[in-house]
A = this chain, B = another copy of it.
Amino acid sequence: MFTVREIANALGAEAAGNLDLRIARAAEPQEATADALAMAMSPKYAEALKDGAARVALVWEGADWQAMGLEAAVFVTRPRLAMSGVTRMLDLGQRETAGIHASAVIDPSAKIGANVTIGPLTVVGPDAVIGDGALIGAHCFIGADVTIGKDANLREMVSIGARVSIGDRFRAQPGARIAADGFSYVTPETSGVENARKTLGDQGDTKAQSWVRIHSLGSVRIGDDVEVGANCTIDNGTIRDTVIGNGTKLDNQVHVGHNCRIGNDCLLCGQTGLSGSVDIGDNVVLGGQCGVADNVFIGDRVIAGGGTKILSNVPAGRVMMGYPAVKMDTHTDMYKVQRRLPRLMRDIEALKKAVFK
């Protein structure tokens, strides 16, 4: 429970009305109970306040909160930023019991920091190091020689393979897989794939062969403030480590192949996949279900719309779309023409009749 005053102070926001009202939860306006803070940050949402029982709301600057029937209001200028502050205050977490659960299997050589919570049936391997303040859920696996910084937050069933190093404030959602072996094979002689890549489509005279495994000697190195979504997979590097920079966030079911290097403050949205040895700069945003071919370089601040398949290098600052990826405005132009194609064909038929008949 927080007072309206405490919430406004935490957000650095102006507030008006009864600042001593106490808030137990956040709610959409139409579902707000009397102890809820309603999210009414635009006139469109404020309409629904009358369908709920809110006495306090987050509202836009200059909103006539009294006319909305409220007893107090907090004024916000950037609604989603205010949401960030409010949701952090009101997050109920997973109700973990503090301390190390008796059923956890922790190697005696592991070094566990101060104020660490480890859930039931979690395994911590030899020589693993877990920093102060970590909150580790049930059924996790922390492999041998893993290092995790301060204030980590791991949900249930996260696995981290041997020798991974991770910075501070790491977050991982259920089923995230760090440090699987890379997918790397070779045939004894030249394969059809090698030929088809060179010729863009011709396999040539290769014979069918079995695949020989290239093992992963590298591990995964993750910076500070990284978050990894549910059922993500991040592969070990072959010789050196796969690297993820500070502040980068991966959504659910993102796949990062071996040897990839991802810079700082990137967002990779749901089900996006990076092949091996992809090199991504800082502040890159890849929408959902994007794909990047192996060995491709993507410059700083590139943005790709959902479903974009990037098959070749992209210079810094570009906004991309399509399969294969092109600049978003090129994509828009190409798409417009495509939709006009049936009419174009009729025009050409008419021209042919007029000119050649």
B273 touches A288 (CB 8 A): yes
> Does A113 reach chain B (CB closer than 8 Å)?
no
A247 touches B211 (CB 8 A): yes
Q: Take A120-B123, A208-B283, A255-B270 as given contacts and tell me if A323 and B324 are in contact as well, using a CB distance cutoff of 8 Å.
A: no
B residues less than 8 Å from A87 (CB atoms): 214-217, 238-239
Q: Take A177-B173, A338-B338 as given contacts and tell me if A285 and B103 are in contact as well, using a CB distance cutoff of 8 Å.
A: no
Q: Contact check: which of B269, B350, B351 meets A183 at CB < 8 Å?
A: B269
A342 to B332 Cα, complex, angstroms: 11
B residues less than 8 Å from A177 (CB atoms): 157, 173-175, 230-231, 252
| A324-357 CB contacts (< 8 Å) to partner B | 324, 327-329, 332-335, 337-342, 344-345, 347-348, 350-352, 354-356
A88 to B327 Cα, complex, angstroms: 42
Total interface residues on A, CB under 8 Å, equals 138
Q: Take A303-B203, A334-B338 as given contacts and tell me if A95 and B126 are in contact as well, using a CB distance cutoff of 8 Å.
A: yes
> Does A59 reach chain B (CB closer than 8 Å)?
no
A211 touches B309 (CB 8 A): no
B residues less than 8 Å from A80 (CB atoms): 186, 214
Question: Smallest Cβ distance from A97 to chain B, in angstroms?
Answer: 8
Q: Secondary structure at chain A's binding surface: helix, strand, loop or mixed?
A: loop
> Does A67 reach chain B (CB closer than 8 Å)?
no
B residues less than 8 Å from A253 (CB atoms): 231, 233, 253, 255, 273
> Does A71 reach chain B (CB closer than 8 Å)?
no
Question: Smallest Cβ distance from A232 to chain B, in angstroms?
Answer: 8
B residues less than 8 Å from A240 (CB atoms): 27-28, 31
Q: Contact check: which of B103, B201, B225, B252 meets A180 at CB < 8 Å?
A: B252
A251 to B103 Cα, complex, angstroms: 33
> Does A301 reach chain B (CB closer than 8 Å)?
yes
A88 to B94 Cα, complex, angstroms: 37
B residues less than 8 Å from A319 (CB atoms): 196, 201-203
A306 to B295 Cα, complex, angstroms: 13
Q: Take A180-B173, A230-B233, A344-B348 as given contacts and tell me if A213 and B293 are in contact as well, using a CB distance cutoff of 8 Å.
A: no
Q: Contact check: which of B301, B329, B352 meets A200 at CB < 8 Å?
A: B329
B residues less than 8 Å from A196 (CB atoms): 303, 319, 328
A174 touches B161 (CB 8 A): yes
A249 to B217 Cα, complex, angstroms: 19
Q: Contact check: which of B157, B209, B273, B345 meets A289 at CB < 8 Å?
A: B273
